[in-house]
Amino acid sequence: MKYKANRVLGVKPKRRLQIIFFLCICFLLVFWFECRIFSQGLNRKGSRHKFLEKFREEEGDTLWHGESGESSVNSISFQVLSWRPRALYFPNFVTAKQCQSIIEIAKSNLKPSGLALRKGETAESTKGIRTSSGTFISASDDSTGVLDIVERKIARATMIPRSHGEAFNVLRYEIGQRYVAHYDAFNPAEYGQRSSQRIASFLVYLSDVEEGGETMFPYENGANMGVGYDYKRCIGLKVKPRQGDGLLFYSLFPNGTIDKTSLHGSCPVIKGEKWVATKWINDQEM
C-alpha cells in the first residue's frame, strides 16, 4: 500500500520531478524563442519606419514627376454632391482674406449683368432673368496676385489648364436678385456655332448669405424634366453659399454633348448679400 501511495498516475515520485523539470525547461525555451521573433519583428518595423522618415526628409514625401508636373504632394478636399449633374463641392477652397480682397477689387467696376441672347431674343424680352451686377476681372489685371493663386488652384482641382478659362466674373446679388435656371454651355441650335464651348464652371463663394441665394439644380438626377418646369422656381439640389467654399459642375459629357441635368440658377437672396466669383472653363484656349 505504501508503494502505491507514493505513485501518481503510475509514475514514481523521483521520475515525476524529472518530467516536471524537463517541461519547465521546454516552456522557457519556447518563451525565449517567441520573444526573439517578436523583438526582431519590432526592430525590422522600426528600421522600416526610420527608412521611410529618412526618405520623406530627403525626398519631401513625393513621387517622381514629369517635366510639367509639381514637385510636392498637395491635397484639395472635396465632396461629390451629385453625379447627375457631375457636381463637386470644395470646402474652404480660398481664405476669407482672399475673398474680401476679390470683393474690394470688383466693387468699383460693377455693372448690371449681361446675358447671352438666343436667336430672336432681345434685352427687353429677357429682362428679369438675370438681375445681379458684376464685372469681369482677369488674373493678369489683379496686382494683389490673389486671383492668380485662385486660378492656379482651380486648374489643379479641375486638371484643365488655366489657358482654357475665361476671366473671373465677379457678381453681387442683393435682396430679391436672382438668375433664372439656365445652361452655361451654348446649344448651337439656339445660339449658333461658336469657336469654343464651356465644358465646366467653377464658383467661388466670396460671402455668406443669411437667407436664400442658393445655387440650385432643378433637374438633379432627372427630376422635373419634361413636366413643364417653371424656370423661376427654386427647387431641386440647392447649394448654400459659404464664404471661401467652391463649387464645380460640368456642363458637357465627355463626348461633348450638353448634360441636360446641368441646368442651374441662383435663388433670390432673401436676407443679406451674395458675392460669387465664377470661372467658366472652355474646351479651347481662350
Can you spell out the DSSP letters for 69-134? S-SS------EEEEETTEEEEETT-S-HHHHHHHHHHHHTT-EE---PPPTT--TTTTTTSB--EE
In a domain, residue 73? The reply is no
Q: Looking at the structure, do residues 18 and 156 belong to the same domain, yes or no?
A: no
Q: Looking at the structure, do residues 7 and 125 belong to the same domain, yes or no?
A: no
Q: Looking at the structure, do residues 14 and 123 belong to the same domain, yes or no?
A: no
Best-predicted range by mean pLDDT (36-40, 60-64, 85-89): 85-89
Q: Looking at the structure, do residues 34 and 83 belong to the same domain, yes or no?
A: no
CA atoms within 13 A on the CB side of 47: 6
137 touches 167 (CB < 8 A): yes
Reported as a pLDDT band with limits 50, 70 and 90, residue 154 is very high
Reported as a pLDDT band with limits 50, 70 and 90, residue 34 is low
pLDDT at 38: 53
How far is it, in rounded angstroms, from Cα 268 to Cα 173?
Answer: 8
Q: Closest Cα partner for 262 from 181, 190, 165, 202? A: 181
Range of the domain at 85: 79-282
In a domain, residue 229? The reply is yes
Output 124 or 7, whichever has higher pLDDT: 124
**Structural domains in the chain (count):** 2
Q: Looking at the structure, do residues 52 and 120 belong to the same domain, yes or no?
A: no
pLDDT in tens, 92-138: 999 999 999 999 999 999 999 998 888 888 888 898 999 999 999 99
How far is it, in rounded angstroms, from Cα 81 to Cα 75?
Answer: 19
How far is it, in rounded angstroms, from Cα 35 to Cα 41?
Answer: 10
Q: Looking at the structure, do residues 143 and 182 belong to the same domain, yes or no?
A: yes
pLDDT at 72: 81
Q: Looking at the structure, do residues 135 and 264 belong to the same domain, yes or no?
A: yes
Reported as a pLDDT band with limits 50, 70 and 90, residue 159 is very high
pLDDT at 45: 46
Tell me the CATH number at 181. 2.60.120.620
Average pLDDT over residues 248-277: 98
Output 56 or 262, whichever has higher pLDDT: 262
Q: Cell numbers at residue 25, please?
A: 525547461
Q: Looking at the structure, do residues 171 and 121 belong to the same domain, yes or no?
A: yes
Q: Is the per-residue pLDDT at 144 higher than 80?
A: yes
Of 28, 59, 90, the position where a domain reaches its end is: 59
Output 263 or 13, whichever has higher pLDDT: 263
In a domain, residue 233? The reply is yes
Q: Looking at the structure, do residues 224 and 121 belong to the same domain, yes or no?
A: yes
Walk across the sheet containing 111-112 and list its strands: 79-83, 86-90, 246-250, 198-205, 274-282, 168-173, 133-137, 111-112
